[in-house]
Amino acid sequence: AVKHCELLAPGSQHKLRCGNPTRTCLEKAVAVLDGAKYSLAYASGLAATLNITHLLKAGDTIICMDDVYGGTNRYFQQIAVKMGLKVIFVDCTKLKCLEAAITPETKLVWIETPTNPTLKVIDIQGCADLVHKHKDILLAVDNSFMSACFQRPLSLGADICMYSATKYMNGHSDVVMGLVSVNRDDLYERLKFLQGSLGAIPSPFDCYLCNRGLKTLQLRMNQHFHNALAVGRFLESNPRVEKVVYPGLPSHPQHELVKRQCTGCPGMLSFYIKGNLKHATIFLKSIKVFTLAESLGGYESLAELPAVMTHASVPKEDREALGISDTLIRLSIGLEDEEDLLEDLDQALKAAVSWL
C-alpha cells in the first residue's frame, strides 16, 4: 500500500479546496486500492455524484440503473433534470434494455452493483463493452456496497469508479465522504478542476479518519462476508421469512456473475418478512443487537425498512415495480459475534411473526 506521500508541487496547495497533504495521502491510497492512476475525495457520496454529473452539459442524457440508492434517484429526478439533463431509468441487468435506451445524446451510464436495496447484480464488463461501442459515453459504477476490497470496476472496463466512502471504505460510521477513481488523464483533469471549483471537499481530519479506516478494510470486509453468509443461511431456513436476497448465497439469481466479477460479498442483505407493514415494524422495534438506522457499512449491525426510510422519496409505484415492498427489510451486517446476531434476529422474528 502507500507508505508515504509526497507533497504536491509548490503552490499547488495554496487553498484547502485545491489540496492538502492529508487528502493527497488518502487519494493516493484509494487509487492504489482501485488499481487506478488517480483518485479524488469529496465531501460526500452525493458530492461525488454532483461532480461527475458536471462533466455533462445541458441536452445530454444520463441512463441510470432503475434500482439505485434513493439519494441518487432523487438527485437525478429532481435536480439534474432542472439543469437541462435528461435522465432515463433502465434495468441495466438486461443488456438489451440498456442497448435499446442509448441515443446520440447519451453521455453517461450510471450503475451500482449490487443495487440498493434489492441487491441485483449488473455485469460491469458487459455494460462496458456495450457502452464503449458508442463514442463519448462514460460508464460510472457506484462501488459503495462492494468496496475496493471485493470489486474493481475499472479493471472490468468502467471509466469511473465512485464511492460513498461514508460506508465500507471508511467503515467506522464517523465520516461522511465520497471518492472517485479514474485512469484517463483527461477525465482526471476535468474532475480535478471541478473538485476545486465546486468546492465540495472533505476536511483534512475526515481524510485522516478515512485513511485510518482503509488500514483494516480487508479484515473488516472478510468478517462482514462471514457474518452475512451466516445470517443469510439462518434466514433462508426460517419459516417467518418469505425470501432472502444475498449475492453470496447460491440462491441469488446472479450468484455465478458475482463469482466472476467479485472476490467476496459485503454485509448487505435484504429479506422479505412474512406478513405486512405491521409485522415488519414490530420486527424493527424488537431488534436489540441490530440498530434501526438508515446508513450502512460500519462495524455495527443496522436494519431499516427502505419503503419508508432510504427509498421513501422514490414514487410508490416505482418502488413496488422494483420489489421495494412494505415487507422488504435491509440489513447492514456488522462485525459482532455471529451467534449474537442470529439470536437477535431469531427473537425479533418470533416477536413479529408470532402466529408460526
Does residue 15 carry a catalytic annotation?
no
Whether 142 is a known active-site residue: answer yes
Where helices occur in the chain by DSSP H, the ranges are 21-34, 45-53, 70-78, 95-101, 124-131, 147-150, 185-198, 204-214, 217-236, 255-261, 277-286, 316-322, 338-352
Known catalytic residue: 330? Answer: no
Q: What is the DSSP letter of 272?
A: E
Catalytic residue (one of 69, 163, 168, 188): 69
Going from the C-alpha of 155 to that of each of 13, 34, 124, 141, the distances in angstroms are 31, 8, 10, 12
Cell triple for residue 290? 441490530
Is residue 4 packed enough to be buried (19+ CB in 10 Å), middle (13-18) or exposed (0-12)?
Answer: exposed
Adjacent-strand bridge partners of 164: 178
Q: Residue 240 pairs with which residues in a beta bridge? A: none
| Residue 206 in grid coordinates | 475526515
Q: Is 246 a catalytic residue?
A: no
How far is residue 351's CA from residue 279's CA, in Å, rounded to a whole number? 9
Q: Which of 107, 152, 167, 220 is catalytic?
A: 167
Query: Which of 60, 91, 123, 142 does the annotation list as catalytic?
Result: 142
Residue 319 CB neighbour total at 10 angstroms: 21
Which pairing describes strands 38-42 and 178-182: parallel, antiparallel, or unpaired? antiparallel
C-alpha cell at 9: 508541487
Calculate the alpha carbon distances from 125 to 59, 102, 152, 296 in Å: 27, 17, 11, 26
* Catalytic residue ranges: 17, 69, 142, 167
